[in-house]
Structure 1
Amino acid sequence: MGRDYEQVRQVLASNIKELRGKRGLSQEALALSADVDRTYVSQIERAVGNPSLLVLCKLGTVLNKDVCDLLVTPQA
């Protein structure tokens, strides 16, 4: 059976936060580059936001990742 909604949101939150940190971007810098509000980036990273496909595409572009990469559980 596939992952449930909450698991996917947690993976997305973790991936966005990790990728942003690796690139040395603040939430504000990521938000500005992706043309979204900084508080929305915060919500996504806390797994309380529910980003649209458009927002995921924008974040992926800034982070140099495909949308599917943002949703994949990293290998340990």
Structure 2
Amino acid sequence: MDNIVITLIVLPCKGHWGSRGSEVQLLEYEASAAGLIRSFSERFPEDGPELEEVLTQLATADAQFWKGPCEAPSGQA
């Protein structure tokens, strides 16, 4: 299976335009849930606490569906 790379182009925010003009920075993240979360947290740092709370609530609600192989019903591990 090929690895997928998530690519995010980040435009500088107002405070970073300065003498660099319209410079664009290309950031690449790991192709995983962790990479996706990291890309959002770096792009929207002001939303971090709210995002963490929502993701924690979702993870807690979905925990019943993420059982380890030894806990899965037979034939489904």
Shorter chain as denominator, the TM-score bin is: under 0.3
Q: Which has the higher strand share?
A: 2
